[in-house]
Amino acid sequence: MSNDLTKDEFDALGQISRKEHRGRPSACVARNTKRLTGIKMLEYTREGHLALTEKGLQTLFIYRCIEALRGLNADADAVVDADVAIFLSRKGHIVAKEGSKQFEITQRGRESLADIDAQSR
């Protein structure tokens, strides 16, 4: 990702995507709003509420995919969201275990995860 976001900033994006900020935004969202609007991941709607931009939605989805791969790499029984599982399956990063709703990471997924971790150092 071109804009390195902190865990706190990703949490703020997640809260906004889940609409957890009814009325007054949480401290996490308030703390990160200025930077996230500056890098065009958030915007104010006509009603004055915060909403994710297309860039923010894509960034959050990529983050969820990476976290799912890390989760599966660490724990074979990790739960993967349906939309993330569909995307990662299509890309060949995970496969469904036979007779189960669980997934396992493929060699391609491990290589991608290794590349991501190498770039973040």
Q: Are residues 69 and 35 in the same domain?
A: no
Whether residue 96 sits in one domain with residue 47: no
Which sign, positive or negative, has the C-alpha torsion 19, 24, 27, 33? positive
Same domain, 72 and 32: no
The SS3 of residue 52 is: strand
Please tell me whether residues 76 and 106 are part of one structural domain.
yes
Q: pTM, whole model, 2 decimals?
A: 0.86
- What pLDDT is attached to residue 73? 92
Same domain, 114 and 78: yes
Instruction: Please write the tens of the pLDDT for every residue from 20-75.
Output: 656 678 899 999 999 999 999 999 999 888 899 999 999 999 999 999 999 999 99
Contacts of 97 (CB under 8 A, 6+ apart): 103, 104
Q: Look at the chain and report how many structural domains it folds into.
A: 2
Residues 32 and 66 in one domain: no
Q: What is the largest CA-CA distance in the chain?
A: 48
**Which residue range forms the structural domain that includes residue 69?**
61-119
Cα(23)–Cα(35) distance, rounded to whole angstroms? 20
